[in-house]
Structure formats: C-alpha cells, structure tokens
Structure 1
Amino acid sequence: MTRDASEGLNVPHEKTKILNGEEERAHTKEGKGVKKSIKSKYQLVDFNSLPTFLRDNDFILGYYRSEWPLKQTFLSIFAIHNETLNVWTHLIGFFLFLFLTIYTAMRAPIVVDSLQYIPEIIGKADLNKIREELLKCLPSLPDMPDLHKVKNELSTSLHSLNFSPLSGRNVMELLINCFPEHFSSNYLKDDTIEFVSSSTIQPITRWPFYVFLIGAMFCLLASSTCHLLACHSKRLSYIMLRIDYAGIAALIATSFYPPVYYSFMCNPFFCYIYLGFITLMGVATIVFSLLPFFNKSEFRKYRASLFFLMGFSGVAPIIHKLILYGDEPEALQTTGYEILMGVLYGLGALIYVARIPERWMPGKFDIAGHSHQIFHVFVVAGAYTHYRDGLIYLRWRDLKGC
C-alpha cells in the first residue's frame, strides 16, 4: 500500500515535470520565433513585398527597406541597400558645397586673371603723364658724381620711351621687376582664378552668389534625407518627398540669381523682372508639389517636365546677356558654363525618366548604377559647374563694375 501509494503519488509529479518541460520548450520556441520575427523585420525585402507608397521603380527588384523603426532607419545610412548611394551621392555633395561656401566667405574671390586684365587696369592711368612727371623731377635730384651718369641715362630713356605700343603684360612685368616688393607673385601665376586681398579691388556684392550656394545645399541635404528616411512610414514618406521636390525647385530658382543679377545689375528693370519671374515660378512649383497626386509614379514624366521648364526659362536672360555683352569675353565664358550646366541637368533628368540602365537588366543595378544614382551625380556636377560660372561673374563685376 505504501509503495503503491507512493508510486501513485509520484505519477502526477513526473507528469508535471514533463508538462513543465514541454511548456518551457514551447516558450523557448516562441521566444526564438519572436526574436526571429523582430530580426526579419529589419531585413531587406523585394519589390513585391513593399507597401504601395514605397513602390516606385519596378525595375529595381530587391534590397528595399520597408517600414523600419526610425532608429534603424537612421542607422541604415551605414548599411548596404538600394538607397545607400542615393543618400551618399548627395550627402557628399552637400559637404562639398558647405566647404565651398565657407571658403568663399573667408576668402572673397576678387578674381584676377593676372595679366589678362592688366591692360584695362594700366589703361586707367596716364603713363605718358607719369613719364613727364619723372622728367620734371630729374633736375631736382642731387648733382652727385655717382648719380650724374644715372640721371643722364634715365633722362635719355624717358625721352625716348613710348608707352602706347607696350602691352599690359610688358608694363606689369616692368613694374614687377623694378618694384618687386610692391607686387605679389600671385600676379604671375598661370591659374585662372586667384584670390587676392580685398583691398586690391573693391568687391561687388556677393548675396546672389550665396543665395545659389544655400539653394544648392538645401537641395542636396533634402534629397539625401528623403532617400534615407522615406521608408519609415507613409506619413514620413509624404513629408520627405515634398521637401525633396521643394529642394529641386529651390536649386533651379536660385541658380538664376548669380547670372541674372550680375548680367543685369546695370539694368535694374530687367534684373528685377527676371529674378521676380523665376522666384514666382519656383514658389508655384513648390506649392504644386504639395498636391497628393504629384508624387504618383505615373506623374514621373510630368514632374521632370515641370522642373525642365523651370530650367529652360533661363534661355531668355542668357540670350539677352549676349545681346548686351556679346563682345565681352566673360559673357561668352559664362554662357559656355551655363550651356554645360543645362546639358548635365538635362541628361540626368532624361536618364531618371527613362530609368536607364535598370530597365534593360532588371535586378542587376539594385545596389549600384541605377538611374536615380546617376541622376544625383549629374546634379552635383551641374551645380559645381554653376559655382565655377559664378566665380567668373564675380571677377567680371569686381573689375569692371557697371
């Protein structure tokens, strides 16, 4: 009885241990399943697994982030996915323009293509009058034996000297050789762009140039942030895309400020007309981009066309500039840069709309080489071309004014 009773009493205890073991294993499996589901939540997915608001380019088949928490979305800037290069191409561009802005502010570009502009500078001085003044001073010099020969030779040289056939380069070289302590060696450099002391030439106002630099930085930073965070949620995607479109409109509009202002600063009426028109067009584009349908994939061509029309409106002030200053070398140089900038922006937009090259080999350019990344590179190249264009305008107006 006692043994049976004890055996009988032990049965439930063993069953309980077995049940507890099964529950523990079940909980362990459940815990692993939870951990696995959390881990898989941050894994990259393919195009077919995306929610509707993240579906844009069906030729990019994989490596998507989908509705990640904000922390993981931020940290994914250092991860590999199909937006990595979209983020970094414009983020690097932002830091490039931040450096250019600081550098320009610290060393105002009184741009002197040294000896190219010396004829204009020297031409403002009456060199023959200087020669006459020197001749008047010679008799007043002390009549010392050592100076007598020098005075005679100098007098003979000045009487026979004719400044008219001398080129600006010869005059400048003569002055530098005679008075090296008064002339910087920077004037003899071959580089086109030289930064010299602001006391040399009175600089023209820089605010239109800084407006462009700020517009470029805003566009690049907005685009980079959009590509990083838009995968978080539908609401955040909507907000970031609107900021991205506003950045594009800002870049196009502010790109007009340096060429329009410096081309027509002596014609305020046309200056204000052109600047007012492009500013209103930029604001209208930003407002239009806030409409919900503007972000739909089928409106991709219309978005690109709208931005293209904004840029194409710059043809009018360029032609007007050439009519007014067609004989000025700076007018031709800046026009060349502006044509190059338009080609870079236009080619990038064409590649973006056509989805080249991923449309030819879907899935092969998911990580690197797809159209949006190429478009970003062209945008940075076009903006930097415009920066160089702006330096020429500054040099032109610094030296000539109106």
Structure 2
Amino acid sequence: MLSLLKLPRVFTINQVPKVFHEDSIISGYRHPRSSATDCIRSLFQLTNETLNIWTHFLPTWYFLWKLVTVIVMQTAWQDAFTWPLVIFLFSCCVYPLASSCAHTFSSMSVRARHICFFFDYGALSFYSLGSAFIYSAYVFPDKWVNSFFHRCYVPITLFNTVICTALSCYSRLGLPFLQYSHDIVKRFPECQSPRFSKCLRVFAFAYPYLFDNIPLFYRVFLCVGDGCTDNDTNFLHYHHIALAFLTGFLFATHLPERLAPGSFDFIGHSHQLFHVCGILGTHFQMKAVEQDMVTRRSWLLQNSIPITFSSTVGVAVLCLVANLIIIMLYSLPLLSAPVCPKKKSGKS
C-alpha cells in the first residue's frame, strides 16, 4: 500500500534527454521512461506537467456536459440546425482530452512522446473544423451568406485541417517512412532545429485559425453598412478573439519563463497560461455562437446554405479518418526505429 502512495521522483533538465526539454523550464521533469502507472500517479504531485494536464482535463467534462445538454434538451437528432453546434461541442471535448492524455503519458518514452502529441495535433485540427462548422452555420455576416466564398468555406477548411495535422507532425519528425539511419535521425526538425520546428508548428495552427475566422474578422472589424450583422453577440466575439490571440502569443513567446528561467517551472509558465486562455477563449466562442443561433435562426433558415447530414457529420467523419491516417503514417515508423540520438539520463 505504501509503495502505491510513493510518488515518482522528478528530475532537472540536465538529467533527461534533449527531446524532453522545454524552453526555460529547468526542473520538475518526470523520468523519461516512466510507466503508465507512474504517469497517472504524477497527476497528484507537482511537476512541470501537472497543471498542463488538469487545465485541460477538467474543462473536458464541462464541454461534455454542454454537449449532452444540447443533445438531450434541444433534441439535436431531430433538428439539423443544431448539428454544426453538436460537432463543435464534440471537438471541444476531444481537443482538451487529447491534450491532457498527451501531457500525462508523454514521459513514457521518446516514441510515446511523439505519438501522444500527434494525437494532440490531430484533435486541435479537428477543433478547427468544428469552429468552421459553427461559423458557416451561424456567424457569417448577412451580406456573405450563400456567397461563393460561403459555399467553398467548409471544403477549404477541411483541406486546411488535414494540412495542419500533417505539417505539425512533420515539425516533429520530418517525412515518414524514410530509411532511418543515425545520420537521417539527426536531420529531423525536432532534433536538429528546434526553433524551426516550433515556428513550423505555430504556422500549422495559426493559418487554419486565421482562415476560419475570416468571416468573423470581417463582421466585427471591417464590415460597414447594411448586412453586417452588428448585434450584441459581437461583444462576446471580441472576448474570444482577444483570448485567442493571447493564447497564440503565449505559445510562441514562452513568456514569462523566458524572462526568469527556473522561476515558473511548476506554476505560471506559458504552456499553463496557454491552456487556460485557450479554454476561456473556447468558452466565449461557444457562448457567442449560441447567442447567434438564437438571434439569427429564422433569417438563417430562410437565406443560408441548407444544413445536411453529409455536409456536417459526413465531413467531420472524413476529417477524423484523414487525421487518423496521417497519425498512423507518422507513428508506424517510430515503433521500429530510433527518433533522436540517445543521451544519458539521470539515475532513477
């Protein structure tokens, strides 16, 4: 019983392989070959990953409650108008859950770390598609509804999500199914050029976000005159946009820990703040969309593109299948080949 209560030891940055290093985080690392049990036990001790895990695991249940509420209270299976919202809420459950699992089990091995975050990236890109569904269905400004761009919007977003997943996975390991050798491994972006890898990853997620939000940016910042859908919901959209840009800023800059390395190892580093801002941004996004749904329902049902099963659930399933194929293509080689040159870790 006492052995079950014994918490795993934590390490400093010099005691774990380079692939596990986080910018300006000096201590609080878990053993790079932790067991699954050790990973779960580490949830109840303070490491540099603990709050990363809980700041996404707990909101998962909030969004799941919202999803169940919409399905049960609004009888979503009978009302096609709510299907985009259901898919969006499902994506809001998937991405924080995938993130919390990735942060929990990423210390099992180098291979596990990469594969865990492949799923994390796939979940984020699926959330991007979920956002596109609700924007297409409820947020487009009146003057853009049923336009050529509106009709092409979701198909382009689907393409962007697939590119997002592929590019973010590439940022860790390069091209899959290469003939792995020691020399080729050294040229992988994550090992050879961590800054380039990070920039590539930032672009992989910034581009789909910016494209998804074109109709919203136009509606709240640029549109003037009739057909601009200027209503009270825009105030909530401003909150979401501000938090989204703060989220991207924190992810890209590694502030505040970059200003004082080692001072924010356990509490207050950028990835924790990134998680909190991301969840709050998603919350305001959901609230804004729900208000747009109620306010604009009658007009949208008469004037907007018809919502069908194939254009919502069918596209979502296609996205999930495509992302899983990409993740599989990148994961299979890791099961039989080294990823980064080995480096001695601290004593266990």
Q: Normalization by structure 2: what TM-score? A: 0.70
CA distance in 2, matches of 1:340, 1:295: 34
- 2:109 is aligned with 1:233: yes
CA deviation after TM superposition for structure 1 residue 80, in Å: 1.8
CA distance in 2, matches of 1:219, 1:87: 12
Query: Counterpart in 2 of 1:60?
Result: 25
1:160-184 CA-to-partner distances (Å, cap 9, x unmatched) read xxxxxxxxxxxxxxxxxxxxxxxxx
Query: Counterpart in 2 of 1:390?
Result: 289
Structure 1 unaligned runs (5+)?
1-38, 111-201
The answer to whether the Cα contact below 8 Å between 1:62 and 1:82 also exists between their aligned partners in 2 is yes
1:110-137 CA-to-partner distances (Å, cap 9, x unmatched) read 9xxxxxxxxxxxxxxxxxxxxxxxxxxx
Query: Counterpart in 2 of 1:80?
Result: 46
- 2:55 is aligned with 1:89: yes
SS of structure 2 residue aligned to 1:256: helix
Structure 2 unaligned runs (5+)?
175-188, 303-348
- 2:156 is aligned with 1:277: yes
Distance 1:363 1:101, change over 3 A: same
Give the aligned CA root-mean-square deviation in angstroms.
Answer: 2.9
1:265-303 CA-to-partner distances (Å, cap 9, x unmatched) read 962754331111111101111122232146553221331
CA distance in 1, matches of 2:213, 2:92: 20
CA deviation after TM superposition for structure 1 residue 360, in Å: 1.6
CA deviation after TM superposition for structure 1 residue 70, in Å: 1.8
Task: Choose 1 or 2 for highest CA Rg.
Answer: 1
Query: Counterpart in 2 of 1:308?
Result: 206
1:295-333 CA-to-partner distances (Å, cap 9, x unmatched) read 553221331133112211134323665799965795444
Q: Percent identity?
A: 24
State which of 338, 345, 364 in structure 1 corresponds to 2:237: 338
Q: Amino acid of the residue matched to residue 283 of structure 1?
A: V
Distance 1:399 1:295, change over 3 A: farther
- 2:277 is aligned with 1:378: yes
CA distance in 1, matches of 2:105, 2:230: 43
Distance 1:384 1:319, change over 3 A: closer
Query: Counterpart in 2 of 1:218?
Result: 94
Query: Counterpart in 2 of 1:348?
Result: 247
SS of structure 1 residue aligned to 2:10: coil
State which of 7, 23, 36 in structure 2 corresponds to 1:70: 36
The answer to whether the Cα contact below 8 Å between 2:7 and 2:45 also exists between their aligned partners in 1 is no
Query: Counterpart in 1 of 2:341?
Result: none
CA deviation after TM superposition for structure 1 residue 398, in Å: 3.0
Query: Counterpart in 2 of 1:30?
Result: none
CA distance in 2, matches of 1:376, 1:91: 10
Distance 1:303 1:364, change over 3 A: same
Query: Counterpart in 2 of 1:5?
Result: none
Distance 1:207 1:40, change over 3 A: closer
Distance 1:278 1:239, change over 3 A: same
> More displaced, 351-360 or 326-335?
326-335
CA deviation after TM superposition for structure 1 residue 367, in Å: 1.0
- 2:252 is aligned with 1:287: no
SS of structure 2 residue aligned to 1:379: helix
1:345-373 CA-to-partner distances (Å, cap 9, x unmatched) read 21122112211111122111111100000
CA distance in 1, matches of 2:249, 2:203: 10
SS of structure 2 residue aligned to 1:64: strand
> More displaced, 94-103 or 305-314?
305-314
SS of structure 2 residue aligned to 1:45: strand
SS of structure 2 residue aligned to 1:63: strand
The answer to whether the Cα contact below 8 Å between 1:330 and 1:393 also exists between their aligned partners in 2 is no
The answer to whether the Cα contact below 8 Å between 2:219 and 2:229 also exists between their aligned partners in 1 is no
CA distance in 1, matches of 2:67, 2:224: 28
> More displaced, 214-223 or 81-90?
214-223
Q: Amino acid of the residue matched to residue 365 of structure 1?
A: F
> More displaced, 221-230 or 290-299?
290-299
The answer to whether the Cα contact below 8 Å between 2:131 and 2:212 also exists between their aligned partners in 1 is no
Distance 1:41 1:70, change over 3 A: same
Q: Normalization by structure 1: what TM-score? A: 0.61
Q: Amino acid of the residue matched to residue 159 of structure 2?
A: L
Q: How many residues are paired up?
A: 272
Q: Amino acid of the residue matched to residue 252 of structure 1?
A: S
Distance 1:344 1:321, change over 3 A: closer
CA distance in 1, matches of 2:223, 2:270: 40
State which of 40, 61, 64 in structure 2 corresponds to 1:98: 64
Q: Which has the higher contact order (CA 8 A, sep 6+)?
A: 2
SS of structure 1 residue aligned to 2:165: helix
Query: Counterpart in 2 of 1:205?
Result: 81
> More displaced, 391-400 or 218-227?
391-400
Paired residues for 1:161-172 under 5 Å: none
> More displaced, 262-271 or 60-69?
262-271
CA distance in 1, matches of 2:260, 2:245: 23
CA deviation after TM superposition for structure 1 residue 42, in Å: 3.6
The answer to whether the Cα contact below 8 Å between 1:215 and 1:254 also exists between their aligned partners in 2 is yes
Query: Counterpart in 2 of 1:108?
Result: 74
